[in-house]
Amino acid sequence: MISYIPELTGYFADRLKILSLSVASLIQHTTYPYDLVVFDNGSCPEVVDFWRHLQLDGNVDYLILSDKNIGKIGALRILFQAAPGEIIAYSDDDILFYPGWLAENLKILEAFPKVGMVSGVAVRNAALHAHHSLDQLVQHPLPGLTVSFERCIPDEWERDWAASTGRDPQSYLQDSKDRQDTVLKISHHPGSPPSEEETVSEAIGSANHFQFIARKEIILQALPADWSGKLMGHMLELDQAVDDLGYLRLSTCKRTTRHLGNTVSSDMMAEAQKLGLNLDGVGNPESGLLLSRNLPRKPGNHRKRWLNRIPGSRRILMWTYKRLFEILYQ
């Protein structure tokens, strides 16, 4: 995850609450084992404190702090190289994660051939670019693959995305009313004997760059080799680079993630409450400090860090460590 919240006023007034909602949903709804790697791209001290509290509690495995904004692509170059594992699950710092999101994303990554990016929500206008590899697959379908063109993405998702990105939802829907979505279905034999019922995986022919999963070796190839120095842009070029490498950009047919944007709405908080995300008392704009103890614990890490949450424990442990060293080695 990359974060960039330079202040807690104006455009960024609600961003600490948005960040807390994003991280809480990520931790609560990710059941697979994972490492959380964060690159903070020059945020204000309150946001840096938030990340440090989460790292102390064991919810952040690797925290990279930049004292200035080096741009999104510049941060991705560092972040993706540093990330352990073979699969990278990337998101901006304003994404809501629904239960089972990662499992659904992984299903598509494993079910379809030559997949470069998989997103947890389809955005219709994201299918307007970087689709050459998809066109090739449609023209020359593989055995077991069927393609249909239909209005698959619900208007509700499109309205939410338009509102979260500052667009007028009605105008956006009107502009895209004649577009069809590319829906892919691929069948698999679950095993022998061949008479067993087939399983079918579905995906939408589109992906977005604010949240996706990808194989590390592929996404590293798609990143630009040189630093541009620009703070904005180059994300459409990342989409295009994945496509140019011959890999598909796909999304889940269910909405497993959601773009939140920069404003807290009553609808958003109702969604958080429905998902059981406890955000009471966090994101206080006056103090700017998100109390990490109010967030859920990342599975598997809370036991090894429980001592750190006892006031004064670090000082006592360090004193004990030094005394043991003196006794054993002096």
Residues 10 and 149 in one domain: no
Q: What is the DSSP letter of 172?
A: H
Residues 170 and 237 in one domain: yes
Residues 150 and 182 in one domain: yes
In terms of residue numbers, what domain contains 291?
Answer: 1-87+265-299
Round to whole Å and give the CA distance between 276 and 286: 25
Residues 252 and 109 in one domain: yes
Round to whole Å and give the CA distance between 124 and 267: 22
Round to whole Å and give the CA distance between 290 and 176: 39
Residues 83 and 140 in one domain: no
pLDDT of residue 316: 86
Residues 171 and 232 in one domain: yes
DSSP states of 28-69: HH--S----EEEEES--HHHHHHHHHHHHTTS-SEEEEESS-
**Does a structural domain hold residue 313?**
no
Residues 75 and 124 in one domain: no
> Residues 104, 213: contact at Cβ < 8 Å?
no
> Residues 280, 43: contact at Cβ < 8 Å?
no
pLDDT of residue 227: 66
pLDDT of residue 267: 83
Give the residue from 119, 147, 136, 153 showing the smallest Cα distance to 250: 119
Tell me, what amino acid is at 94? D
Residues 114 and 76 in one domain: no
Mapping DSSP to helix (H, G, I), strand (E, B) and coil, where does residue 316 land? helix
Neighbouring C-beta atoms of residue 255, cutoff 10 Å: 19
Q: Which residues of 180-206 are buried (b: 16+ CB within 10 A; e: fewer)?
A: ebbbbbbeeeeeeeeeeeeeebbbbbb
Q: Tokens 């204000």 identify what position? A: 44
**Does a structural domain hold residue 320?**
no
Q: Tokens 């995305």 identify what position? A: 161
Round to whole Å and give the CA distance between 32 and 21: 20
pLDDT of residue 112: 95
**Does a structural domain hold residue 16?**
yes
Residues 109 and 246 in one domain: yes
Give the number of domains in the chain: 2
Residues 63 and 108 in one domain: no
Residues 134 and 32 in one domain: no
- Please give the angle made by the CA atoms of 22, 54 and 118, to the nearest 5 degrees: 40
**Does a structural domain hold residue 273?**
yes
Round to whole Å and give the CA distance between 4 and 15: 9
pLDDT of residue 265: 83
pLDDT of residue 313: 77
How distant, in Å, are the alpha carbons of 139, 215, 275, 298 from that of 99? 35, 22, 8, 14
**Does a structural domain hold residue 144?**
yes
**Does a structural domain hold residue 7?**
yes
Residues 54 and 100 in one domain: no
**Does a structural domain hold residue 78?**
yes
Determine whether 327 is exposed, middle or buried from the number of CB atoms within 10 Å of its CB (0-12, 13-18, 19+).
exposed
pTM given for the model: 0.84
Q: How far apart are the first and last CA of the chain?
A: 45
Q: pLDDT in tens for each of the 330 residues of the chain?
A: 999 999 999 999 999 999 999 999 999 999 999 999 999 999 999 999 999 999 998 999 999 999 999 999 999 999 999 999 999 999 999 999 999 999 999 999 999 999 999 999 999 989 999 999 999 999 998 889 999 999 999 999 999 999 998 999 999 999 989 999 999 999 975 444 444 556 889 999 999 999 999 999 999 999 987 766 665 657 899 999 999 999 999 999 999 999 999 988 888 888 888 888 866 544 444 433 444 455 666 665 544 555 666 777 778 888 888 888 888 887
Q: Which two tokens stand for residue 212?
A: 């996706």
**Does a structural domain hold residue 140?**
yes
Q: Alpha-carbon Rg of the chain, whole angstroms?
A: 22
